[in-house]
Amino acid sequence: MSRATCATIHLDALRKNLHRIRLAAPASQVMAVVKADGYGHGLERVARAFSAADAFGVAALSDAERLRAAGEIKRIVLLSGPDEAADISRLRDLQVDIVIHHESQLRLLSEAGAGDSLRVWLKIDTGMSRLGFAASQAMEVYRWLRECRHVDPDIVCMTHFACSDEFAKNMTSAQIQRFAEALDGADCVRSMANSAAVLGWPQSHAQWIRPGGALYGLSSVEGRTGVQLGLQPAMTLSTRLIADKWIEPGTTVGYGAGFVAPQRMRLGIAAIGYGDGYPRLAGTGTPILVGGRRTGLVGRVSMDLLALDLTDLPEARVGDPVVAWGEGLPIEEVATCAGTLGYELACGITRRVRFEERDR
């Protein structure tokens, strides 16, 4: 019998989340960001579900290759652009757009051999201090790209927000203003909004939006779940209860004997652990569903197993379904208990977990 741990991907939820995003920014084209293997949901799978998107954003050239090999003809944007000269010919073959964010990439473009023009997105740093040309360089680089014989003249200018998930903070407003000033006089298509900005900063929508986590039902807004933002969870991570037992007061549970039973308790053991991608730092009390009812973890998460408190679930039996996150238990709640983000949990599912698709 195969291991019970399974990640179910809800295709209808993916489509509904894309629709929710389109309703929030009806005048914008949508680049569906599918990097990190579709945020852990499966690259080719989510690309099929996001067939109504206008383009896909990937972080690696290999992801663009996978999408083309799967028959995807939609526009693809390589978000970090080319790394070396050999990339240029491959990007041309694949007809992939490139993000240009550094002087070294300008050299690659100037030295490129004859071939089809490349569609370029110019990245401008307005406060993230990660990738992108300084705002003071924006027009100079924009003009250079317009004159480069290897670049399609229809350039998209883009930036990335540092604090768009904090709706009361004025950092995003400052970045929007800085971006506008940097491109004063440029007649170009523009892109600013990530998931949080699509939902919370309508003034940032421009001609293109670039949602990522929101498409998968994930929240990037502290203190709010994806469900609270009108999104649907697209992944359910589940397993089965494989054992139960009663323990007496004073009994220790798990590695390090860090939990001591304060009273007589009934424990359940579920076939899931950090070897499956469940967060090791999720501590006692982290919520989990057994047969659709909530209870909490007990003791440390181990590689293959975790212990649950079944004392108040007398109906629970070996073989019952256990949901680590998904419908009825937002991934953000588990992430908060583990001191991380739902994004990290979704991306961290390991190869031994079985993936299934469900359309409704």
Strands in 87-229 per DSSP E: 97-100, 120-125, 133-134, 156-158, 189-191, 208-209
Q: For residue range 250-298, what is the model confidence (pLDDT) as tens digits?
A: 999 999 999 999 999 999 999 999 999 999 999 999 999 999 999 999 9
- pLDDT band for position 246 (50/70/90)? very high
Catalytic status, residue 343:
no
Other Cβ atoms less than 10 A from the Cβ of 48: the count is 16
- pLDDT band for position 306 (50/70/90)? very high
- For residue 158, give the nearest of 79, 232, 88 by alpha carbon: 79
Q: What pLDDT, on a 0 to 100 scale, did the predictor assign at position 185?
A: 85
Structure token pair of residue 18: 């894309």
Topology of domain 11-220, CATH: TIM Barrel (3.20.20)
Query: How do the domains of the chain map onto residue ranges?
Result: 11-220, 235-358
Check whether 70 has a pLDDT greater than 80.
yes
- pLDDT band for position 3 (50/70/90)? confident
- For residue 21, give the nearest of 145, 197, 146, 192 by alpha carbon: 197
List 39, 123, 169, 255, catalytic entry: 255
List 35, 123, 216, 278, catalytic entry: 35
| Rounded Cα distance, 196 and 111, in Å | 38
What pTM, to 2 d.p., does this model score? 0.96
Pick the CATH number of 235-358 from 3.90.550.10, 3.40.47.10, 1.10.357.10, 2.40.37.10: 2.40.37.10
Q: What pLDDT, on a 0 to 100 scale, did the predictor assign at position 1?
A: 53
Catalytic status, residue 35:
yes
How far lies 341's CA from each of 65, 223, 288, 298, 316, in Å?
29, 11, 17, 21, 30
Check whether 195 has a pLDDT greater than 70.
yes
Label the pairing between strands 156-158 and 29-33. unpaired
Cβ atoms of 308 and 298 closer than 8 Å: yes
Same fold, 11-220 and 235-358: no
| Rounded Cα distance, 41 and 62, in Å | 17
Tell me the average pLDDT across 293-308.
98
Sign of CA dihedral 346, 350, 352, 355: positive
Task: Calculate the average pLDDT of the chain.
Answer: 97
Tell me the average pLDDT across 303-313.
98
